[in-house]
Amino acid sequence: MKETLYWISLSEIFGPASSSLWKLMSTCESAEEGYRRVSEGKFTLAAGEKNRFLCSSPEKSAEILKNCKQKGIEVITYGSEKYPSRLRTIYDPPAVLYLSGN
């Protein structure tokens, strides 16, 4: 659950399918580590990413996750076993999938 919050935070900072996100994650073992590196200024962010970082947090991600659950929206992150294997093979795959319905 905690790792899901960090994936959501990173997706909010970098956008749904960002090469910058995957550049960061190529040096990290987890989304939590990636978020920590960004928080500590150990990864250079573009101007827009900096602004989105200032508005993001795992707490805000928890609110997003809560709202999704209330609305019946399933959240699947890149770190999840449920993440589609075919999507893992594309260039800059989405870090988070929001699914509704069948």
The partner residues of 97 in beta bridges, in order of sequence, read 76
Using pLDDT thresholds of 50, 70 and 90, give the confidence band for residue 44.
Answer: very high
Can you tell me the distance from the alpha carbon of 70 to that of 33, in angstroms, rounded to the nearest whole number? 28
Using pLDDT thresholds of 50, 70 and 90, give the confidence band for residue 17.
Answer: confident
Tell me, yes or no, if the pTM score tops 0.95.
Answer: no
